[in-house]
Amino acid sequence: MLTKITVEAALNAELGDHLGFDKHEQTEDGQFELATTRDRAGSFEPKLVKKHQRRFTSMDDKILCLWLAENEGAKVWLNVLTELQNRGGVRDILIACVDGLNGLPDAINTAYPETHIQLCIVHMVRNSMKFVSWKDYKPVATDLKQIYQSATEEEALLALNRFMIEFEGRLVDYV
């Protein structure tokens, strides 16, 4: 990480020296440095801040919308999703990773019927850990991490098998 920061700082300094000025954007609120990414071919055309743009006027016309609600219920999310759909901003959702809020999968599927709903692994692990004894808590958490942080399906299955062997008989009701 330190190498990355150092190299980026050096490259930005080189670029500033080459251009004769630092890479800053000017707004009505003052100056700020903008770290932009570009593709190698140079074919990407950013929409929010255009290439070579020096003044960034305002976010007001760039923001789609902000929803405020008393609570975070499925009805609120159904309204948000329906409004997004009606505005033409979101035509389809392929996968929605949700946290277990009651009614949220139904709300998503009402607005976007083809969406595949998936429970968030972090929430699933957190909820399952409520049932693990304090004595087994740390080893179970460590071994579960090996499963859900696996890079491939095969790696995850091997970690799952090791987990099942390690805790065989002790966690039968929870696995």
171 located within any domain: no
Between residues 55 and 84, which one has the greater pLDDT? 84
156 located within any domain: yes
Tell me: do 109 and 128 sit in the same domain.
Answer: no
Q: What is the rounded CA–CA span in Å between residue 113 and residue 103?
A: 14
Residue 154 has pLDDT above 80, yes or no: yes
Q: What is the identity of the amino acid at 46?
A: P
Tell me: do 98 and 55 sit in the same domain.
Answer: no
68 located within any domain: no
pLDDT tens digits along 18-77: 655 555 555 555 666 666 666 677 776 766 566 776 666 655 455 555 666 777 888 888
Tell me: do 87 and 43 sit in the same domain.
Answer: no
8 located within any domain: yes
Phi, psi at 118, each rounded to 5°: -135, 135
149 located within any domain: yes
Encoding tokens for residue 58?
């305002």
Between residues 167 and 174, which one has the greater pLDDT? 167
Name the pTM for this structure.
0.49
pLDDT at 97: 92
pLDDT tens digits along 116-143: 999 988 888 888 888 888 888 999 999 9
Tell me: do 126 and 112 sit in the same domain.
Answer: no
Q: What is the rounded CA–CA span in Å between residue 57 and residue 52?
A: 14
- The structural domain count of the chain equals 3
What stretches of 20-130 show up as alpha helix (H) in DSSP? 74-87, 104-111, 121-129
Between residues 107 and 91, which one has the greater pLDDT? 107
Instruction: Evaluate whether 90 touches 84 at the Cβ level (below 8 Å).
Output: yes
Tell me: do 13 and 57 sit in the same domain.
Answer: yes
174 located within any domain: no
Between residues 36 and 95, which one has the greater pLDDT? 95
Tell me: do 106 and 49 sit in the same domain.
Answer: no
Map tokens 């008989």 to a residue: 169
102 located within any domain: yes
Give residue 158's domain range: 121-166
pLDDT tens digits along 137-151: 999 999 999 998 999
Three-state secondary-structure class, residue 163: helix
pLDDT at 91: 85
pLDDT at 95: 93
111 located within any domain: yes
Tell me: do 9 and 45 sit in the same domain.
Answer: yes
Q: What is the rounded CA–CA span in Å between residue 122 and residue 174?
A: 16
Instruction: Evaluate whether 95 touches 116 at the Cβ level (below 8 Å).
Output: yes
pLDDT at 16: 62
